[in-house]
Amino acid sequence: MRFSPSFLDDIRDRVPISDVIGKRVTWDRRKTNVSRGDYWACCPFHGEKSPSFHCEDRKGRYHCFGCDVSGDHFRFLTDLEGLSFPEAVQQIADMAGVPMPQPDPQAERRERERTSLLDVMELATQFFQDQLQTATGAKARAYLRERGLTGRTIETFRLGFAPDSRNALKEFLAGKGVGKEQIEACGLVVHGPDVPVSYDRFRDRIMFPILSAREKVIAFGGRAMSPDAPAKYLNSNETELFHKGNVLFNFARARRASQGAGGTGTIIAVEGYMDVIALHQAGIENAVAPLGTALTENQLDLLWKMTSQPVLCFDGDGAGIRAANRAVDLALPHLKPGRSVRFAMLPDGKDPDDLVRHEGREPFDKVLANARSLADMVWMREVQGGGFDTPEKRAELEARLRQVTSVVADESVRRHYGQDMRDRLNAFLQGGAPFRGERRPFERGGRERGGRQGGGFRHAGGERNAGPTTISDRLARSSLVSGQQAAPSLRESVLALTIVNHPQLLFDEYDEISTIEFDHRDLQRCWAVVLNAAAANGPRLTREGLVEQLEAEGFGTLIGALDQQIRYARLWTATTAAAPEDAREGYLQALALHKRTKALNWQRRELERELAHATEEADLEAVPQLLRTLNEVQLEVTRLENQEAIIEGFGVLSGRVKGPAAR
């Protein structure tokens, strides 16, 4: 029985390849990263003692670096268990909960027709390529040269030219024996009851072949050469081969580039064909584009099949921002743990093609490096240009944020988005900057209208909140700003105790973990003992052996205090009860926050130094800007200080929110 490619793709996508292979092997716990769908084991195809057999859920592939076998779900079952291909398909379909297709003569006929239509599309592609190289295509070649495309790039993307003729392509295909019905079924001509004689759909246009996931030409996009053309870009109409909302331009090539040797695993979605091609020529080969329309749900699903966090790149003008906001609303309902999007906003008036053609790839790399999270985009959209000078308006903002995040279908992600928005809102309002979506200008004092003085506010009890130009007493006393505390901060306790309880993490992430700098002096000394024990014992180091050595060095009381603090805060990922993969994920989250805090404190100190210098020099232009920047840093510190979900799951801030044990 012949199975359609769509059926095979469907059941492969539904069943992680690790579920198929995991029933026949034992995963190596040290090298395997479950959260990333990255698995290692001793190869079932040849005898070995160290694991060199690797499979990745994201790619749906396996490979042994010892005996060089590789394949997908079906190949694994046919090679290892000797099943026939239909038997392997039956087994995967059963795991996916998908019924096997019944023999369908009509479906088989349609599949044969699809194959013949693909042959017609290949003939059309060759025709357009040949036309580009003729005298008729001279103007198109000149245009492509002006856009900076090399001959190699033109050949890679198989760009072509449709001559300004009503029947050139139709006659070419007819001369190759292609019937009228096939030409019409491919969408290559305009036809219908009200069209007496069909004619070529694409005329006087540069042609961009659009490929399927299997790299077969299924449609075309055409860029008009005449400025008077009704449509600058024209796509193929919907056909048996082509459904515009389900296809991304350059999908297969970008997937291969992102997942191959040297690939970053990232996929960038830009707005147009030329953006993709210009980026490819600049060495950025992992870019795709929707086909002249806003991103669809199906296209977003395609992006998530390639990467857990695609980057959506938009122009920095008003239209680009509106498109980004539409993408925000599109993505929010479909978020899941480990599945999100980021947003890279280009300078106003620039698109990727302009940027890399005139300035090289470095400016575009910087744009990608500064990509914002989806949560950042939600926050900026809701507060931008708003006036929040009354309780009613602030309540309206709070309700709006609650409504936006409520659409997230996944309960866990929805809870964390709600917490993140509350943290941002608290920092925004407590920072004294709730007035027009931005901070008030620096003022030297004096009384403003409405009883405000120096940017602060008085409550009924007479206590004045710090204004936007001063550090609040609470913030100044916080451990995140001062860097001094009688006991370790909760975050530092998490970092230290997780390693004590799960010392194997130290070897998995040694380069990053070994460079941690603790603010608490006792933790500094304790950490030196941990690193010395790791160096002396290597991967043989156990929790019991490490605790024994720490107690011998006089750190038993400290470890006990850390354990009590962690359990009080219910941060279970740092305890011995956590599974290794949960401990690792929690640790990496805490480490990221710790590093961010360190960077903010360094930036704050530098800004305060520059501010003191500018004040001494009476630099009236520099002082307000430095103060605004300092306020932004302080607000970010406040947000981190207020962030209760230090580890994904549970947690309360030490010394700020009392846990159940204190009630």
- Digit-coded pLDDT (tens) for 522-549: 888 888 888 888 877 777 889 998 999 8
DSSP string computed for 398-429: HHHHHHHHTT--SHHHHHHHHHHHHHHHHHHH
Q: How far apart are CA 605 and CA 596, in angstroms?
A: 14
Say yes or no to pLDDT of 324 above 70: yes
CB contact at 8 A, 424 and 398: no
Edge-to-edge order in the sheet of strand 53-56? 38-41, 53-56, 61-64, 70-71
Q: How far apart are CA 569 and CA 551, in angstroms?
A: 24
CA 658 to chain centre: 35
Say yes or no to pLDDT of 436 above 50: no
Angle, vertex CA 468, rays to CA 463 and CA 470, nearest 5: 70
CB contact at 8 A, 485 and 520: yes
- Distance set, CA 361 to CA 301, 354, 472 (Å): 28, 11, 43
- Average pLDDT estimate for 291-307: 87
pTM reported for the whole predicted model: 0.56
Which of 119-123, 496-500, 649-653 has the least mean pLDDT? 649-653
Taking each helix axis from N to C end, the angle separating 297-306 and 318-331, rounded to the nearest 10 degrees, works out to 80
pLDDT digits (tens, 9 = 90+) for 39-65: 999 998 887 788 899 999 988 999 988
The closest alpha carbon to 221, from 139, 157, 136, 279, belongs to: 157
* Sign of the CA dihedral with 129 first, then 130, 133, and 137 last: negative
Say yes or no to pLDDT of 13 above 50: yes
